[in-house]
């Protein structure tokens, strides 16, 4: 089996992309801290097929993101990794251009193909524009163009960025492969349109016809088809289980997450324990963590589901999904609360929404990685913590805007 590396800019991205391989039976490890990559590979990575790495570059400058990803890509190349997939955010947050340039420089790649479409989560690309479908399958689907992808990438890249439209993709794999080779004469980076899974399948078949030196970049949507494109084979795995309550920690302020948490609360009858973010900002994190821990411990003893959420989740202004400069302190406090709760209550599964929250929880628990096992819903993977105080605990991570309204209900039913 060839060894594959996924370089993502946050933890939830590493998880949802790695899940596309583990659901086909590949032994996939999510590496939580990129700075410990060499040590982690030596400890737990040598028997893995796929390494999904959280580069944690979302808040860095473009130059800082380039340097970190370049160093990481060089380390992976020197470790003998056969193929690399540059995972980019499905809404183009962070520094996708700078990070893609870093991978291409490190691997000395002549061409990169960028496919950000993730139709299963309503992200499509048409005429180079990233579009979020507001009501997929409805009588009149509303669409919100977010950005022109080639223009976003070109801002941070020295290489020329071009575009391949949907009509070219739908000519079929062989014709698309020829078109890509021809377009390479003028552009070293090509953004491909795709609006449904059949388009992604065509792109994957075209990739199979191209030289292996081509770097691939995109969201979890394309990654789901790479096992076929790269002709990879693996065996299936079995899952494990625990007893106790399912703990949901909601650190994302995304409106989609808010609706999902409210649906779970209504269905389970468990009222969320709200974390007072104002107290944390006022440097009262220790007392607030103790208060939340006491309330959550009491609920854990008599509920199958336990919800801990930032208070701002339910009182945010429309479209605002950030916590400003206090986000780091809030995520760290959620990590402390989770760690202490796992030490005092019986928890059979952990569900975390928000990339920063997931990183801090894993860091506080001392976990070295996440062994991925399955994709429960599109972009929502299940794994098991590797190392630390909660080793073997099932963990499900979700990016803020992903999933249907009943996503958490379905996740909790699976863990139960």
- Confidence band for 44, pLDDT divided at 50, 70 and 90: low
Burial of 170: CB neighbours in 10 Å, binned 0-12, 13-18, 19+: middle
* Max mean pLDDT range (211-220, 312-321, 322-331): 211-220
Confidence of residue 128 (pLDDT cuts 50, 70, 90): very high
Q: What is the DSSP string of 327-373?
A: HHHHHHHHHHHHHHHHHHS-EEEEEEESHHHHHHHHHHHT--EEEEE
Which pLDDT score is estimated for 48? 77
CATH architecture for residues 4-229: 3-Layer(aba) Sandwich (3.40)
Burial pattern 22-37, b for ≥16 Cβ within 10 A else e, equals: bbbebbbbbbbbbeeb
Predicted confidence at residue 319, as pLDDT, reads 44
For the cut 50, the answer to whether the pLDDT of residue 138 exceeds it is no
Give the pLDDT confidence of 230-278 residue by residue, as tens digits.
877 665 444 445 678 999 999 988 888 999 999 999 999 999 999 999 9
Identical fold for domains 4-229 and 245-415, yes or no, is: no
- Per-residue pLDDT of 1-16, as tens digits, reads 678 899 999 999 999 9
Note the pLDDT of residue 142: 58
Per-residue model confidence as pLDDT tens digits over 71-118: 999 988 888 888 899 999 888 999 999 999 999 999 999 999 999 999
Q: What is the mean pLDDT of residues 273-289?
A: 93
Q: How far is Cα 12 from Cα 379, in angstroms, rounded to an integer?
A: 9
Average per-residue pLDDT for the chain = 88
Bigger pLDDT: 142 vs 212: 212
Domain ranges of the chain: 4-229, 245-415
CATH topology of domain 245-415: Molybdenum Cofactor Biosythetic Enzyme; Chain A (3.40.980)
- Rounded to an integer, the average pLDDT of 217-237 is 79
Q: Band the pLDDT of 22: cuts 50, 70, 90.
A: confident
In this structure, how many other beta carbons lie within 10 angstroms of the beta carbon of residue 239?
A: 10
More confident residue, 368 or 200: 200
199-218 pLDDT, tens per residue? 999 999 999 999 888 999 99
Parallel, antiparallel, or unpaired: how do β-strands 215-218 and 83-87 relate?
A: parallel
Nearest alpha-carbon partner for 8 in 73, 53, 64 = 53
């Amino acid at each position: 089996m060839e060894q594959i590396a996924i370089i993502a800019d946050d933890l939830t991205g590493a998880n949802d992309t790695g899940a596309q391989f583990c659901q086909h039976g590949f032994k996939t490890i999510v590496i939580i801290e990129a700075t410990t990559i060499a040590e982690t590979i030596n400890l737990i990575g040598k028997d893995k097929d796929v390494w999904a790495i959280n580069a944690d570059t979302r808040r860095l400058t473009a130059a800082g993101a380039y340097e970190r990803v370049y160093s990481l890509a060089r380390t992976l190349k020197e470790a003998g990794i056969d193929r690399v997939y540059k995972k980019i955010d499905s809404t183009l947050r962070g520094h996708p251009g700078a990070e893609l340039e870093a991978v291409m420089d490190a691997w000395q790649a002549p061409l990169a193909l960028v496919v950000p479409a993730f139709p299963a989560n309503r992200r499509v690309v048409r005429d180079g524009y990233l579009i979020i479908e507001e009501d997929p399958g409805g009588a009149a689907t509303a669409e919100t163009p977010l950005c022109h992808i080639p223009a976003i990438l070109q801002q941070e890249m020295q290489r020329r960025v071009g575009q391949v439209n949907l009509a070219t993709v739908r000519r079929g794999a062989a014709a698309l492969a020829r078109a890509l080779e021809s377009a390479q004469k003028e552009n070293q980076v090509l953004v491909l349109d795709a609006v449904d899974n059949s388009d992604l399948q065509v792109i994957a078949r075209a990739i199979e016809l191209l030289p292996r030196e081509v770097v691939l970049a995109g969201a979890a949507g394309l990654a789901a088809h790479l096992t076929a494109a790269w002709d990879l084979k693996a065996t299936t795995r079995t899952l494990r289980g625990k007893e106790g309550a399912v703990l949901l920690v909601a650190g994302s302020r995304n409106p989609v997450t808010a609706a999902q948490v409210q649906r779970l609360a209504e269905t389970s009858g468990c009222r969320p324990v709200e974390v007072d973010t104002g107290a944390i900002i006022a440097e009262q994190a220790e007392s607030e963590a103790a208060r939340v821990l006491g309330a959550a411990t009491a609920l854990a003893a008599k509920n199958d589901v336990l919800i801990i959420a930032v208070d701002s989740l339910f009182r945010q202004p429309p479209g605002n999904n950030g916590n400003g400069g206090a986000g780091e302190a809030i995520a760290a406090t959620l990590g402390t609360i989770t760690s202490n709760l796992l030490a005092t209550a019986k928890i059979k599964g952990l569900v975390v929404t928000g990339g920063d929250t997931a990183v801090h929880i894993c860091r506080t628990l001392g976990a070295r990685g996440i062994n991925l096992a399955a994709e429960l819903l599109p972009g929502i993977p299940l794994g098991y913590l590797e190392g630390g105080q909660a080793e073997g605990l099932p963990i499900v991570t979700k990016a803020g805007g992903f999933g249907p309204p009943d996503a958490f209900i379905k996740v909790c039913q699976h863990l139960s």
